[in-house]
Amino acid sequence: MRHVIVVPHNPHWRVAFAAEAALVASAIGPAVVTIHHIGSTAIPDIYAKPVIDLLVEVVDLEPVDRAQPALVALGYEAMGEFGLPGRRYFRKDNDQGDRTHHVHVFEAGSAEVERHLRFRDYLRAHPHRAQDYSNLKRHLAQLHPTDIEAYMDGKHGLIQELEQAARQWQP
């Protein structure tokens, strides 16, 4: 059973992202184009589950598949596409079994890369909407402290609304 814990923004998350991005880049190798910090830990001043999300753009997914043993050696569990065609998804837990990292790998230029980055950038540019999201996450974590599925389902409507706003937003 996974506990749903959201905490205030931690400036150290940026440092933790950079350190993990270096490890992931080294494991995957020259196929990496760039690595982005996404997810709530990448948005200042909002509550988040303390899980660092990395979005890795690569020239091709084949080298990522070959690098799977190197990522597993870093503590990642390989999850395949995990519901998103064209993605390679990896997740990592600490020694206590708490999730610490997600790695989402897509080919550079993928529509999924654009979607994730627009969502992040929209919330960074619209702090009041980021606070709406933060408040909902805090409420849902209190309401469903041991039900990650209910927590995720509770966020779905607002995420869809924010993604729509992000698609229409002109930065």
> For the segment 61-81, what is each residue's pLDDT rounded down to a tens digit?
999 999 999 999 999 999 999
pLDDT at 1: 66
Q: What is the mean pLDDT of residues 81-96?
A: 96
Q: Is the pLDDT of residue 112 over 70?
A: yes
The CATH number given to whatever domain includes residue 80 is 3.30.460.10
Per the domain annotation, does 51 fall within a domain? yes
Give me the DSSP letters along 96-147.
Answer: TS-EEEEEEEEETT-HHHHHHHHHHHHHHH-HHHHHHHHHHHHHHHHH-TT-
Over residues 4-20, the pLDDT tens digits come to 999 999 999 999 999 99
33 belongs to a structural domain: yes
Residues 95, 150: Cα–Cα separation, whole Å: 25
Indicate whether 1 belongs to any domain: no
Please determine, for residue 129, whether its predicted confidence score (pLDDT) is greater than 80: yes
Domain that holds residue 23: 12-168
pTM of the predicted structure, to 2 decimals: 0.96
Q: Characterise 57 by phi-psi region: left (phi > 0), alpha (psi -120 to 50), beta (else).
A: beta
What pLDDT sits at residue 18? Answer: 98
Query: Which CA distances in Å does 86 have to 58, 109, 122, 171?
Result: 11, 12, 24, 27
For residue 5, is it within any domain?
A: no
Examine residue 6 and state whether it is found in any structural domain, yes or no. Answer: no
Domain count for the chain:
1
